[in-house]
Structures are given as structure tokens and as C-alpha cells.
Amino acid sequence: MSRHQHFADLHKTGCFVMPNPWDIGSAKLMAAKGAVALATTSAGHAFTLGKPDMGHVTRDEALLHAAEIVAATPLPVNGDLENGYGDAPEVVAETIYLAGEAGLSGASIEDTTMQADAPSYPFELAVERVAAGAKAARDLGRPFMFTARADGVMIGAYDMDEAIRRAKAFAAAGADVIYVPIPQSMSDIARLCAAVDLPVNGLAAGPYLQHSVADFAAAGVRRISLGSAIARATHRVMDDALEAMLGDGSFTPLQHSISGDKIDKMLM
């Protein structure tokens, strides 16, 4: 119970960073460096399975992975559960019940369909899905931060005005946290934070990597996650190193790797 209550309490004041591990080792490293909470990353996890992002990991696979991350450290963990692994509100509810059983302290559900021809759920269905997920979270009988995501801005399905309309409706439907990934500007994030009386999750990825925690906090963000940014950074290192060694025979990209002793200490 203590980790779940701690996670809820983190959302009451200030602004905290919630990094996203993709396996047990990265979770332990993040905890050792001082993280106060963790979140799974659907893309980072998919990469470990040799799968692409967006709809290629099953619910069973995601929840098993989440339980492993929960067990890896004493920190609270938020689950990236994509669209809840089904369209119907009752499927979203079931996914949240299972997330509670996996030991997660919270979870996010997107309003994306995973279909190219109609990428976002219609407004009314999106709100019904959030209401079902929020009720399931309350029914767990312990603190569980249910995050409602409006992803249409990021995927080009709707504009910021629609994202804010959805965010307000999601808040009214019982969400605990609102998340609109990658708006066009920090001023858009500030608009969102001013429009809803709930904690807002900011995403440090893409152009927002140029901003600081203080910048997000000034906009009103309560929680900052990184999605797959750290996982993709490690893949950047692998890509550069393999290009060099298998191309011109150079191993120089590996000169700045961390020592095995330092990693061992953080994993103990």
C-alpha cells in the first residue's frame, strides 16, 4: 500500500520526473540514480521483444512485463497500457483490474484505435472508455492513479482545442491525471494545465528535450515522463557503434561506455 499512496502523494505538489525503464536492469539503474517513480514504455518493451511499437504487444505480455518492473524495485510504477487492448469500455475496465493485480500504482489509457483509417476514438466513446477505466481504478480499493491520454495531437488526428475538450471531459469522467503528448509548444501545455483541475503529465521527448524540469513546472506540469526516449537513446548508441565497426572497422563509438563495475554497484 505504501508505494501506491506515495505515488498518489507525488501528484499533489511540485513536479517530478518519472523515467521509463524497458527491462529489470534499466529499472534498477533508474532507481539507483534517484528516481522516485517509474513508468513502463510500450515502445521500449516492444523493442526488447523484437517487435515494433503501437499495437504489436499483447495485454498478457504487457502486464507480465509490468509485474517484472514492479518487482524490480520498491518504487511505484505507472503502466503504459496503450489503448487498453480493446475498443469496448468494459475491456478497458478489465485491463485496469488486471493492472491492479500486477501491482501497478497507476496506468495510462490512450484514445487511439491503433487503426490508420480512423486513428482516434469518437469523442463519446473516448469518454465512455475513460469513465469505465476510472471506475475500475476506484474499485481496486486502494490508491491507483488513472491517466487519460488524448493522443490525437501527436498523431495528427485532431487539434489542441479538441485535445482540451477531451481533457475536460476525461476529468469529468473520473480520470486522475491528464496527458496530451507532444503539443506544438510549451504554451499549449500551459493552456492545458490551466484548463483542467487535475495533474498533467508532460512528455520529455522530441522538441521538448530542449526544455528543463523547471520549464515544465512553470507551465503547470506535475509529472514528466520520457516515453521511449531513453530506450531509443540506447538504440542510437548501438546503431552508431554497429555502423562504425561493421562499416569502416572502427570501435571508437564505444569509448564512452560506462564501466561494468559502476553498473554492478547500481544493480546490487
Q: What is the pLDDT of residues 10-46, one digit of tens each?
A: 999 999 999 999 999 999 999 999 999 999 999 999 9
* Sheet containing strand 16-18, strands side by side: 16-18, 223-225, 200-203, 177-179, 145-149, 106-109, 77-80, 38-39
Are 11 and 223 within 8 A, CB to CB?
Answer: yes
Rounded to the nearest 10°, the torsion over CA 68, 69, 71, 74 is 180
- Separation of first and last alpha carbons in the chain: 24
Say what the pTM is. Answer: 0.95
Q: Which of 65, 70, 19, 71 is nearest to 42 (CA)?
A: 65
What pLDDT, in 10s, does the model give residues 113-136?
Answer: 998 888 999 999 999 999 999 999
Catalogue all structural domains in the chain, each as residue range(s) with its CATH number.
2-230 (3.20.20.60)
14 CB burial (10 A radius; 0-12, 13-18, 19+): exposed
Give tens-digit pLDDT for 130-184.
999 999 999 999 999 999 999 999 999 999 999 999 999 999 999 999 999 999 9
Dist CA 46 CA 225 (whole Å): 18
